[in-house]
Amino acid sequence: MTTDDGTVAGLGEFGLIRTVTESRRQPDSTLLGPGDDAAILSAPDRRVVATTDMLVQGVHFRLDWSTPEQVGRKAVAVNLADVAAMGAVPTTVLVALGCPGDTPASLVTELVDGMWAEANRAGVGVSGGDLVRAEELVVSVTALGDLGGRPPVTRSGARPGDIVAVHGRLGWAAAGLAVLSRGFRSPVNVVNAQRVPEPDYTAGPAAAGAGATSMIDISDGLLADLGHVAEASGVGIDVRTDQVGVPRRLTEVGTALGADPLRWVLTGGEDHALAATFPPFAELPDGWRRIGAVTVPDSGLTVDGEPYHEESGWEHWR
């Protein structure tokens, strides 16, 4: 028997499930949502794109920096960006949540509200998941996508002579992290870039339709992730800093903090922009901008034609 004292333990597992699932409207593609052993989804393309990411309190987010709603949005966004990076259209997300028993039920409700808000922004719903007891707040999201009959765009298709292009902002989340780490909460647009990424989920399918030869979600840093493309494709990639550019706002923040904003742009993660390569004479889709070129096989990653010897991005356990 449970006693509703406003905590997760007070509601109990099934009471909490009812609280976060009732009155949620599923999209038409969800044929059976939460409440059974598994969800049932329509799958027009028989090849389903699937990805999962885990967010751990103290590693990926801090509740003194972000609201539960922002954490929920971020948890969904980082997964749906991976779906878009394959050239697929998101179809649904599933959520696994672990938390201590004394976690306020209102925190979980706000977290789920954020998940639904971001899922709705992508035109999908939350079709199921799991709840467990844990020592820390842990959120794991699985996202699925539909390729619409097209082949997936992987990391391994870049060819010498291709254009390297990006879609979305670079360095903003890293700048926001630097601001928060100094104990500040403004400028708000920079800080919010760290709290909630805002990927364009249509950009990946648009790139695929324009003939992108490879693509990746920039989660660990532009150079780090382009390095993955270069390695998988067996090519070199040269990034031109004059084409990447540094936004004026980041220059202002860098001056205030005594930091190099170009380093944020080149190596900062968590913006979840997309990087892709396109054939030399391809017309880039709206919002995509050229930042470099694919060079000769196995020549590695360079910046302005020179090897980059600094750390190129984030890596766990390093």
- Per-residue pLDDT of 154-165, as tens digits, reads 999 999 999 999
Q: Is the model more confident about 98 or about 37? A: 98
Residue 61 carries which side chain, given as an amino acid letter?
Answer: F
Average pLDDT, the chain: 90
Which residues, in sequence order, are CB contacts of 181 under 8 Å at separation 6+?
none
Residues in binding site for Mg(2+)? 37, 51-53, 82, 130, 217, 220
pTM for the model: 0.87
Which residues, in sequence order, are CB contacts of 167 under 8 Å at separation 6+?
200, 203, 207, 273, 274, 276, 285, 287, 288, 289
Domains of the chain: 8-146 (3.30.1330.10), 163-307 (3.90.650.10)
The pLDDT of residue 11: 77
Residues in binding site for ATP? 129-130, 155, 219
Q: What is the spatial distance between Cα 26 and Cα 23, in angstroms, rounded to a whole number?
A: 9
Residue position matching structure tokens 């980059």: 308
Q: What is the spatial distance between Cα 220 and Cα 228, in angstroms, rounded to a whole number?
A: 11
Residues in binding site for substrate? 60, 270, 314
At 11, phi and psi to the nearest 5? -75, -35
Range 36-50 average pLDDT:
72
Q: What is the spatial distance between Cα 155 and Cα 115, in angstroms, rounded to a whole number?
A: 28
Q: Binning pLDDT at 50, 70 and 90, where does residue 299 land? A: confident
The pLDDT of residue 38: 56
Residues in binding site? 37, 51-53, 60, 82, 129-130, 155, 217, 219-220, 270, 314
Q: Is the dihedral of CA 66, 71, 72, 78 positive or negative?
A: positive
Sheet holding 301-303, edge to edge: 214-218, 273-278, 163-167, 289-297, 235-239, 301-303, 306-307
Structure tokens at 185: 């909460």
